[in-house]
Amino acid sequence: MRDRALCSDVTEAAARELGPIAHHRRIPAGQVIQSEHQGFSWLAIIVSGVVKLVKAQKDGRLQIVGLQYPADFVGHPYGAKNTLVAEATTQLELCCFSRSAFETVMRNHPSLEQALYRRALDDLETAREWMFLLGRKSAREKVASLLVSIATRIMRPIPGVGPGLSQRFELPLSRNEIADALGLTIETVSREIRYLKMAGVIATSGRRSVSVLKPDLLCTLAEGEDR
């Protein structure tokens, strides 16, 4: 995670100033860590665990609009408001910063601001891919795409196991949450996971443990090339 985190993209001087203002927090699964009601007085880098970003309507409707993984940045410097709710889907370990202190370091070190800008562009590209996934992909492609995304982001890849895919991981979302995130029914999600198991692409153990047996084929299915 250290090699992929924000601190690796800034100058040594900026990294030295970030050190004294950082503190670690552990967050249990299911806890909301940021929302409009809680305010946004702090920012964080995810050390371990997964965060889901949820858009909530006043009438109670919810939509998972993204996931954040180790090395991702939580929060928006200089942002007056954020309409998304950030919730821990697994136990989290965060490296946290006071917003005001972090913004001071940003003003003093342009390399930090530039690093955040580059990550914001990456987030924008991810959001566009998510829009395409929801709007144009089939149910099978959606489920395969989500598994590829999780497998490539949730932990360091294992050498020799497919194109950057982890061999085994724990799903950070329940079947209900997967259905919500992909705009599918839980029955459809279960059917597509069952297909992937029968085809020998993945294996499952317990409620959330997934092993990727055929990473190349999983990627092919995600791209809709196995037609």
Rounded distance between C-alpha atoms, residue 208 and residue 101, angstroms: 39
- Higher pLDDT residue, 154 or 29? 29
pLDDT of 80? 60
pLDDT of 156? 52
| pLDDT tens sequence across 162-194 | 455 768 889 999 999 999 899 899 999 999 999
- Higher pLDDT residue, 112 or 81? 112
pLDDT at position 157 over 60: no
What's the average model confidence in pLDDT over 91-115? Answer: 93
Q: How confident is the model at residue 158 (pLDDT cuts 50, 70, 90)?
A: very low
| pLDDT tens sequence across 129-148 | 888 888 889 999 999 999 99
Domain boundaries, the chain: 6-109, 137-222
Run of H or E including 42: strand 42-48
Fold (topology level) of 6-109: Jelly Rolls (2.60.120)
Is the pTM of the predicted complex or chain greater than 0.95?
Answer: no
Rounded distance between C-alpha atoms, residue 197 and residue 212, angstroms: 10
| pLDDT tens sequence across 56-66 | 777 877 888 88
Percent of the chain with pLDDT over 70: 89
pLDDT at position 211 over 80: yes
Q: What is the domain class of 137-222 according to CATH?
A: mainly alpha
Query: 73 Cβ partners below 8 Å, 6+ apart?
Result: 6, 43, 44, 45, 46, 116, 119
